[in-house]
Structure 1
Amino acid sequence: MKKLIFSSLLAVLLLSFCHNKAVAQVEDNTVYNFVSMENPPSYPGGIASFYKFLGDNMKYPQQAKDDNIQGIVYVSFIVEKDGSLNNLKVDRKLGGGTDEEAIRVLKLSKRWNPGMQNGKVVKVKYNIPVKFSIPGKKPNPKVAIPIAGSVGPVNESKVYNLLSVENPPLYPGGIAKFYELITENIKYPKSAIDAKVEGNVYVSFTIAEDGSLIDIKVDGKLGAGTDEEAIRVIKLSKRWMPGTQNGKPVRVKYNVPIKFKLPK
């Protein structure tokens, strides 16, 4: 009887171990969206260096030149745990060989600094616009695929989405420096400590044409003073390098999660 009970317990423990291991594997292989990350992946030297790398290595396809095809190729990829880029694909095509060229150049990329979530390295999906433009030439409307906001005058009052703007805004020193600012200045509200409140406050703001932050607000509340503290710290930010569209600075909406975690 004792032997039977022991065997049953062993079987239960083994099943539990296998289940937990399987759950861990699923969690380890989760692909996060970079917009909602605690610490998003970053290119060595910052996103400006990444776009410089693209510009230095991009070769305008002859077919696209002959047909005067200009516009934006929207590409997505996964930044793996080791910083390599995987699953590169074109989400919105432009044609004339530009789609293939965008993928070719991205495959030349250095390894990125991988994203972090809950102190662990994770996989992250990243989206970027790759612009093809012929200096001194206007796009041929008969062959160029129209991209919202990429042709014609910039609407100064429009607020662009981070993923749709040609050149996204940049924090001085890169996004890691922005999170460093938050970490160094955040003060855990006493009411949140007393109530043992932990989690993320989701904040959005608009980066204006001069790089200042406006329309700062909490989209996902946590409470107990954490929401107000998140806003206070965001207001300490330096001016950003504004996003640009058609060579002009524009307003861009940005979203960040601010984590509150009690020390153990």
Structure 2
Amino acid sequence: MLTSVRRLALLVVLSTVSLTAAQAQKKLKYPKVQADQIYDAVQKPAVPVGGLQAYADYLEKNQQYPTKALQAGQEGTVNVTFVVEKSGGISNVAVTQAVAPELDAEAIRLIKGGPKWTPAEHKGGKVRQRVTVPISYKLPLGAGGPAPAVADDGTPLKPAGTNGAPAPTVVAPEQPARPVGGTDAFFEWIQKNQRYPALARQRKVEGRVPVEFMIQKDGTLTDVKLAGKRLGSGLDEEALRLIKAAPKWTPAQFQGQPVKQKMVLPVIFQL
């Protein structure tokens, strides 16, 4: 049987143990996360559903180079920032590093149309995280930009340079070539007249085929050839057929006169 002194001592010890355990438990508890706070750095960052590689594949597969940007020779990297919500959706999409209005708008469209994300976790709970994704646009060789001055046979004009040596010259058209009826009508024609090759459909092959061509002074399209990576399965041949059969363009203008202009446009195949 415990004496009163021993009972008092035991109570003091138990109280001390209980206090120490409570303090330790309190230290282990994470501080509360503010519901609406947006984090830049977290313990477990947000990731796209399916993984980073699948997200990169989505961006590459769905990116469309705006025709106006192609014609103007615009390229660069658009940095797009957005917030991954606790639900995995995204919000507050904005461009932080602009390149050109058409490219910026296309980058925003890509991000908004992308898959959901697995939300970030921080201090024991799901949190909102700010994410930045760079969307790069690189012109295919010969796409858009200044049109070279050419002779009637298509060869570049070379005025005399220093000591009579020939020197190349490049002039920018005052008005670039454009499809008759507008770019929307042109791509509608492409889509309407596209014949998806059976082999490509069977193999589920899709993507973009860059095609280079010359827009003559009368608006006809000539010198049609592939200008980038081949897709195979009949898609490259179909892209060439479409451009060769395409309607006329309004030719480029320089000093009030029509001039030839080289152009590269992607023919998009999507199942």
Scaled by the length of structure 2, the TM-score of the pair is: 0.46
Larger C-alpha radius of gyration, 1 or 2?
A: 2
Scaled by the length of structure 1, the TM-score of the pair is: 0.47
